[in-house]
Structure 1
Amino acid sequence: MNFISLRIITADIMPLVRFYEQITGLSVTQYTDDFAELQTPLATLAIGSTRILQLFGGDNIARASSNQSVILEFRVDDVDREYQKLADILGDRLVQKPTTMPWGNRSLLFRDPDGNLVNFFTPVTPEALERSGPCCIPFSRGQQWRLA
């Protein structure tokens, strides 16, 4: 089994599409007015409007802008450099400036337009680098993901 996708349900898809394009430097493919995807070789971030909930059985199965337990995480080359690039964009969405965590990742935490937590991180200690493995080379905004 492979984990391949996470989907955000939103009442207004376009602000999220623009936001994720802006912070990653990658293009989001919008298939319909109600569904878009940000694809990387390892996983996909899907963005769906509340209107698609009817396809899954009704309005009550998910609620937009109400996430209180999930953090969307992106591994980047240099968290501090990404923070410098994004500081003006993030504004009051910033939750935590780049900080080195006890487990060895340097982390930048902020919220997207729907209030979902987003973490840009870089493994910085030998242990964190070993845990992250050789699976991929992290992206910098404007660059493509690629397998190592």
Structure 2
Amino acid sequence: MKIGEVCLFTNDVIRLSNFYKMLFDIDNGSNDKIHQFIISEETTLTVYNDGTERKTNAQNICIAFTVEDIEFQSKRLKAFGVKIVEPPTLRPWGAKNMSFLDPDNNLIVFRCFPE
């Protein structure tokens, strides 16, 4: 068994989808206001408005993505004006993590595993 999809529910599919398209440098060719697939590989990242009115950060969620060069990603995100919650920090278990917020205030973590 493997995870098939992570879905972010939002009031504004265009705004949140555009953030993730920028984040991953992806053009999914969609401007759908209700539902968009952003990443469609083994696990899918979907942004969806199911019609329920949502408050900002109404859920406790953190999504972590593994990247190759966390310092590069940190500079890139700062250049886009993304609010960095924690700069790249080496963890006791060997990972180097940084965290930031998406437009709906979901906590996102980029991590790498330096050798």
* TM-score (normalised: structure 1): 0.68
Question: Which residue identity does 1:72 align to in structure 2?
Answer: I
Q: Which residue of 2 aligns with 1:18?
A: 18
Q: Whose radius of gyration is greater, 1 or 2? A: 1
Question: Which residue identity does 2:95 align to in structure 1?
Answer: N
Note the residue ranges of structure 1 that are not aligned, 5 or more in a row: 52-58, 126-148
Coordinate RMSD, CA, aligned = 2.1
* TM-score (normalised: structure 2): 0.86
SS of the equivalent of 1:121 reads: strand
Equivalent-residue separation in structure 2 for 1:99 and 1:67 (angstroms): 27
Q: What's the % identity of the aligned pairs?
A: 23
Equivalent position to 1:85, from 72, 76, 93: 76
Q: Do 1:67 and 1:116's aligned partners in 2 also have CA atoms closer than 8 Å? A: no
Q: Do 1:29 and 1:37's aligned partners in 2 also have CA atoms closer than 8 Å? A: no
Runs ≥4 residues deviating over 4 A: none
Q: Which residue of 1 aligns with 2:85?
A: 95
Does 1:119 pair with 2:109? Answer: yes
Equivalent-residue separation in structure 2 for 1:103 and 1:39 (angstroms): 28
Following superposition, the deviation at residue 76 of structure 1 comes to 0.7
Bigger fraction of residues in helix: 1
C-alpha change, 1:40 and 1:121, in structure 2 (3 Å) is farther
